[in-house]
Each structure stands twice: as C-alpha cells, then as structure tokens.
Structure 1
Amino acid sequence: MVSDFRKKKLQHVFTVFFDTNKSGNIDKKDFDLAVEKVAGIRGWKAGEAPYKVLQDTLNALWEGIQTADANKDGEVTFDEWVSAWDTIDKEWQILYAKFIFQLEDASSDGSIDSGEFSTVYASFGIDKAEAVAAFQKMANGKANVSWPEFEQLFKEYFTSEDVNAPGNFIFGKTSF
C-alpha cells in the first residue's frame, strides 16, 4: 500500500511530467508531446541525432509504462500508476532516472547545477524560485549534483516516507 505522502509525490510526477496534454491519463500522445517540449527546450530539430535519441528514449519509456495499464485500454490512470509503481521494471526506473538527469544536465558535464535544474522545471510550469530552493534542499547546499548522487536521490524520491529527505526535491517542488 502506498502512503498518502508517496501518493502526493507520485501525483506530482504523473501530472507535471507524464500527463503532458493534461487529459488526466497518460497515453502515447503525452510522450509525443514530451518529445516536442524537450526538443524545444534543447533547440533540437526533427531529423537531428539528439532528437532521435530523445524520441527513442521516450518511446522506450512509453513502452515500459504500459505495464501499469491494468485494463489495457491504452491509457494509464493515476490509480493504475500508483498501483503499479512498486512493480514497474527496475530497468525502466533506471532509464527514467537517466532521462531526467540528462534533461537537467544541459551542459552535459556529468553534473546538474541550480541554473540547469531550475530552467528545466520552470519550463514545466514550476516557479523558478521554488525550483532553485528545491535544488538547494536536494543538493544539501552543494553547487552540483553528480549522476551517482542523483541516482540515489531518485530512488529516495519514490521510496522515502521522510518529508525532509533530499530526494523529495528532485522534481523541483519544495513541499507536498
């Protein structure tokens, strides 16, 4: 059983990052829109190599998330998402974590700084000042977060019941 606190965190990810078209469910259209959104953030055009990698990654994420579609109707509801989260393939979770890290690491230097982090979350509708504050909490005051650190923070986000755990802030929010 998923606690209310974890449901709030799952709701944030579901609503802000997966339900791109705001239909209330996750479907293939959401992932197609996400390709366009992320490509726009990065300035990538269709046909360019980074665009293709992005498209392939998001298609793989869509394929993996379909395991949560309990009634096989081509859409994942929030309840299906919550019910399936603990059983979603670990490889899918790692792919998603890498995608988020690479999205945030605009300089491709292997670490995320506050500017990179807050710019991404502002583009997803989160107040930039809140995203900066979330980065500071996530990074424990450090200037950068590396991939190994981020990987641990990502796991913490989806499993921790501690409201003050640094991982709770990896998606740009300071409270739930």
Structure 2
Amino acid sequence: MPISDFRKKKLLYVFNVFFDVNQSGTIDRKDFELAIEKICSLRGWPSGSPQYTKTFDSMITIWEGLKKRADSNKDGQVSVEEWASMWDEYAKNPDNALEWQTQYLRFMFELEDASGDGTIDVDEFTSVCSCYGLDVAECRLAYQRMAEGKQEVTYDQFVALWKQFFTSENPSDPGNFIFGKTKF
C-alpha cells in the first residue's frame, strides 16, 4: 500500500526543513555538518567545546545510521524516495525503530529541552523550530496543539508524539505538530 499524500507531505517537510539543510534535494554528510553549525550557533557552543563535540558526535552517528539504512543505492546520499521508503517501514512497526531513529528522537528532545529539566516548554520548542526558518507564531501554535494545552511535554509524551507524527493519517493528531508546522 503506497504512502498516503498526507504522510508523504509530512515526510517531505521533515526531509526539506530539518535534514536537507543545503537544499540540494538529497541528504548527505554536508547537511549534517551544516546542521551541527546551526545548532551549536543557536546554543552558543563554540567549536571545540564539550557541547559542540557531543553534538558533532551525535549528529554524525545519526548520519551514519541513516545512510546505512536508507541509502539503498550506496551513492552516499539519501534521496526523497529512499527517505520515504525508510519511514514507511518505520510506520509498519514504530516500536521497532532503527537505532539511528531512536538516537535522533533523543537528540531532538535534548536539543529542545534547553534547560535540561526533562521537559520541553513553548519557548524551548519555538527557539529550535524557528532556527530552521519556521515562523515563531506558527511554532507557538504548533506547540499548543502538540502539548494539548499543557505547559510542558515530557520525554515519554515526546516519544508518543514522535511515533504519531511518522504513522498518523489523522491531521488533527497532536503528534503532527512536533516539528513546528500546523498544516501539511
């Protein structure tokens, strides 16, 4: 069964906004290097700092896992088709996520939890999503929909929302807003 238009739009959004940083039409290591610079700049972590090194190591590990699983033609890049196919496999059994997918989920939670208190609030969420070029007002609205009116989102809630984003066919499910966008 092919991926629905709704899920395909969500997957393309994450591909284009969060992964294909240089907008080349594919994902490669350079995109991850650019994302590392963007993230570390956002947080004020200079090159060589422990936070920079941790971010670099995490992101390159995520890239290597993504490439190993999704780069089916072994050209060193992940195409839109390879990306969609991989996430379609995930949707069939989200409780059996690939290691890199779990690492990326954890990385995004920790990135958004800037205070390190184990929860994400609207300001932390908006700070990260807006650094990827999303409108601040839309990020705030997406947070309210994602958090369903709560002030904070815990890690366990984030995990459930994450799974929902990649599997849901229902546009009103709160997980659809986890990446800061309100419409697909």
- The question of a shared fold, defined as TM-score above 0.5 by the shorter chain, is answered with yes
The correspondence of residues 124-135 of structure 1 with structure 2, limited to 5 A, is 124-135=132-143
Counterpart in the other structure of 2:155: 147
Amino acid in the other structure paired with 1:163 = P
Question: Mind listing any 5+ residue stretches in structure 2 that lack a counterpart?
Answer: 91-96
Q: 1 CA distance for matches of 2:76 and 2:89?
A: 19
Q: 1 CA distance for matches of 2:98 and 2:77?
A: 21
| Identity over aligned pairs, percent | 53
Match status 1:95 vs 2:108? no
Distance apart, 1:119 and its partner CA: 1.2
Match status 1:75 vs 2:77? yes
Question: Mind listing any 5+ residue stretches in structure 1 that lack a counterpart?
Answer: none
Q: 2 CA distance for matches of 1:153 and 1:30?
A: 25
Worse overlay, 88-97 or 30-39: 88-97
Q: Which runs of 4+ in 1 moved over 6 A?
A: none
Amino acid in the other structure paired with 1:76 = V
Counterpart in the other structure of 2:10: 9
Residue correspondences, number: 176
TM-score scaled by length of structure 2: 0.93
Counterpart in the other structure of 2:93: none
Q: Per-residue CA shift, 1:84-124, capped at 9, x if unaligned?
A: 22346522221111111111111111100001111111110
TM-score scaled by length of structure 1: 0.97
Q: 1 CA distance for matches of 2:58 and 2:47?
A: 14
Counterpart in the other structure of 2:60: 59
